[in-house]
Amino acid sequence: MTGLLLGLSSAICFSSASVCFKLGQRTQSGDNGLWLSIMLNTVMLGLISAFLVWSPWSTSGIVALIIGGIVGTVGGRSSNLKAIRLIGPSRSNAFLTANPVVAALGGWLFLDETLGLREFAGGALVILGLLWLIRSRSTPEATASQPPTRGYLWATAAPLFFGSAFVFRKWGLARFPGSVTGAFIGAAAAFLVVSLIDARAGRLGTTARANFKPVAWWYVAAGTFTTLALLSQFSAFSYLPAWVVGILQGTQGLFTLLLGWIFLRQEERIDRTLVGSVLLVLAGVVLIGLEV
């Protein structure tokens, strides 16, 4: 029960962060909130980690956590934020329900987590739901007001990164236990990589000034929510297999639907196709979960 609650809490916090990112993007035309949110993750998790007793050094575990942080936070969050700007949080997070499919495959290949016919059937439902959503937005009758195709491509990339990150994080925590310290290591590695990329592109100073003069409060809120989400997610790994955590994260699309309807009514077009595709994907997630 503890693992279930932690996994769902992580999904709710990530959903809340997605809505905050979208609200922040209304006034931050050139910044999706990636740098500030990861910086806050690093600072908050680092402060908590400073008061904890760290596990004995494990090179392989720490390397896995670093890779998980870069893959999940830099690759996954960056792709997801680009999708949120282009197609909105409800549609972009609908794709994140594919996380358990990627995590299940990775867990089976690298973590000796078992898979059965029910998981494969659930994965098929997830893919069907996503294909339905993509096809409904790319018909010949599509108009200029409909979301751009590249938004769906970024949304498709996000679960590939996130699902892979689940496997690295689970593998790393098995060798270097500690949900808070593990989350901090991943966040710090991601922050370093993002800062180096921005510095190389000559936009690090511009990004920092844009976030602090004035303070981008919606991104601050998003960074706080993602910190809570990471803490819950890493804690859930202590109780559940990586692919089960992915299943619980798959509910993020439904929570985002609700929050998007409440806070983004003017820009979120939540129609029957979107709701239907998310429900179909959720059916696949539940089917996979019955194996737990």
> For the chain, how many residues are written?
292
SS3 content of the chain, % helix, strand, coil (to 5): 80, 0, 20
According to the model, what pLDDT value does residue 257 have?
74
According to the model, what pLDDT value does residue 144 have?
47
Q: Express each pLDDT in 225-269 by its tens digit.
A: 999 999 998 898 888 777 677 777 777 777 777 787 777 766 666
User: Closest Cα partner for 87 from 271, 269, 254, 250?
Assistant: 269
In three-state secondary structure terms, 33 is coil
According to the model, what pLDDT value does residue 142 have?
44
Please say whether the beta carbons of 47 and 290 come within 8 A: no
Mean pLDDT, the chain, whole residue set: 82
Please say whether the beta carbons of 148 and 86 come within 8 A: yes
The DSSP secondary-structure symbol of 264 reads: -
Q: Which two tokens stand for residue 253?
A: 């699309």
According to the model, what pLDDT value does residue 172 have?
93
Q: Which residue positions in the chain have pLDDT lower than 50?
A: 139-144
Task: Sort 212 into a burial class: Cβ within 10 Å, 0-12 / 13-18 / 19+.
Answer: exposed
d(CA 205, CA 130): 38
